[in-house]
Chains A and B, each alone.
Chain A
Amino acid sequence: MEMLRSLTIILLTSVLVNNYVLSRFLGICPFLGVSKKLNQACGMGMAVTFVMLMATAATWPIQYYLLDPNDLGYMRTIVFILVIAALVQLVEIILKRYIPALHASLGIYLPLITTNCAVLGVTINNINDGYNFLESMVNSLGAGLGFLLAMVLFAGVRSRLESANPPKAFEGLPITLVSAAIVALSFFGFAGIVDGLFA
């Protein structure tokens, strides 16, 4: 029961309070680039969640069973990015071969994810925060769902923005960033929710 509680706290924290996009600033490029249409935002969000879980499942054992025993902690950045890059390629090939339907919906987003800093970020954070394997997986799931949530919310905001009429200099990216600021502000409302729920 105690474990379930701490896992729930980790999940809620990484979805709402420490949202990877809106409060930790990881994965901003896809957040701004792919959030224009709701279906694209959903596809990207799900692909990121999927890759984050896969990447954590691969990198956590590497850190604790390969790098740490051999005193190679400093190789973490190199090893992780290579593992993630290889993993993304592998997942794409497997999906294409065995689950073409899923590949058709997620496939186009996968190559973009290799250089997504949220994926590398979540794997490094799991190690830095000292999570065990289960906690790491839950944290990654939360990070992915948080990314999905932010993408979907922001896709809604942006569709409204299309019909807005901002000053000339603000057209395009600047007004998008300013509205992202307001969305990020709304996530501040979640700041106390975890403590409140489990008090």
Chain B
Amino acid sequence: MSKLQNFLKGIIKENPVLVLVLGTCPTLAITTSVMNALGMGVAATAVLLCSNMAVSALRNVIPDKVRIPCYIVLIAGFVTIVEMIMHAFVPDLYESLGIFLSLIVVNCIILGRAEMYASKNKVVDSALDALGMGVGFTLALFIMSSIREIFGAGTWCGLAIPFAGDYKVMILTMAPGGFFVFGCLIALVNKLTGKKGENKKNMGCAGCPSAYMCGKKDSDGACGGEGEDK
């Protein structure tokens, strides 16, 4: 795969949010305004880039059996750095992202890319993969937050929109609106790509980094929800 393809796949073909359906918690929670979404996207991309590069550089050093705890420590370290930087330079954004900034640690996308890609590939490839995935994540957050902010609050990036401001659908900025817009957006992507049903597979164990920890990746166990009871 060429370097360019490696970068681009994260943006459209394997978009982490809309196609792989990873990292749903921050996607639903912080897309109430465009600024929050961009801040979250940039923060997560920075962590993803650093952690992918570090995991890739250390892939021959980290023993296989304790790799997940090692990745978690690396990721938590980078998250703390990003948190401190944001606290110092963009305190408003730090406040509005709140707990979700710390929760980047358990974002499926980051651990998932470390496990699925960075642990097997060279540093440059891993960095490109991280950038692509990060941009894809940010783009998905941007689209979703634009919909929710324009129709829900009548503004965009804090700027008042003349017509939409008169017909606000307040519910879109609240919790149910998050689920609803996300569902419709995924349906739209399904419609456009014509790949119905593929999401279902990725929603289960294959797309979940925990799957590697519980060893249920192939056996389609409890976490998949698709398999029968054991």
Interface residues of A (CB under 8 A from B): 22-30, 32-37, 39-40, 43-44, 74-78, 81-82, 85, 108-109, 111-112, 114-117, 120-121, 124-125, 128, 167-178, 180-182, 184-185, 187-188
Contacts and interface: CB of A to CB of B under 8 A. Distances in A.
B83 A77 contact: yes
Q: Determine chain A's interface SS by DSSP, over half rule.
A: helix
24 contacts: A25-B28, A33-B224, A34-B225, A37-B229, A76-B102, A81-B76, A85-B69, A108-B230, A112-B210, A112-B213, A112-B214, A112-B222, A112-B223, A115-B106, A115-B213, A128-B98, A173-B203, A174-B186, A174-B190, A177-B182, A177-B186, A181-B178, A184-B175, A187-B175
A188 B176 contact: yes
Contacts of B188: 169
Contact of A33 (B102, B187, B223): B223
Nearest to B87: A74
Given A28-B28, A29-B24, A112-B214, A169 B99 contact: no
Nearest to B187: A174
B204 A184 contact: no
A21 B77 CA distance: 27
A26 B107 CA distance: 11
Contacts of B183: 170, 173-178, 180-181
A176 B67 CA distance: 34
Contacts of B178: 25, 181
A185 B170 CA distance: 12
Interface of B is mostly: helix
Contacts of A40: 222, 225, 229
A172 B225 contact: no
Interface stretch (B51-59, B127-135, B161-169, B192-200): B192-200
A44 B177 CA distance: 26
A37 to B, nearest CB: 7
B111 interface: yes
Nearest to B202: A173
A117 B187 contact: no
B113 to A, nearest CB: 14
A121 B179 contact: no
A34 B229 CA distance: 12
A87 B26 CA distance: 25
A99 B84 CA distance: 43
Nearest to A22: B175
Given A82-B69, A173-B186, A177-B183, A26 B25 contact: yes
B108 interface: yes
B43 interface: no
Nearest to B29: A25
A114 B213 contact: yes
Given A33-B203, A181-B180, A77 B229 contact: no
A23 B111 CA distance: 25
Contact of A108 (B99, B196, B214): B214
B208 A29 contact: yes
B76 A77 contact: yes
B80 A115 contact: no
Contacts of A116: 106
Nearest to B31: A25
A172 to B, nearest CB: 4
B79 A77 contact: yes
A175 B200 CA distance: 11
Contacts of A167: 187
B111 A124 contact: no
Nearest to B203: A173
Contacts of B25: 25-29, 117
A171 B196 contact: yes
A153 to B, nearest CB: 14
A122 to B, nearest CB: 10
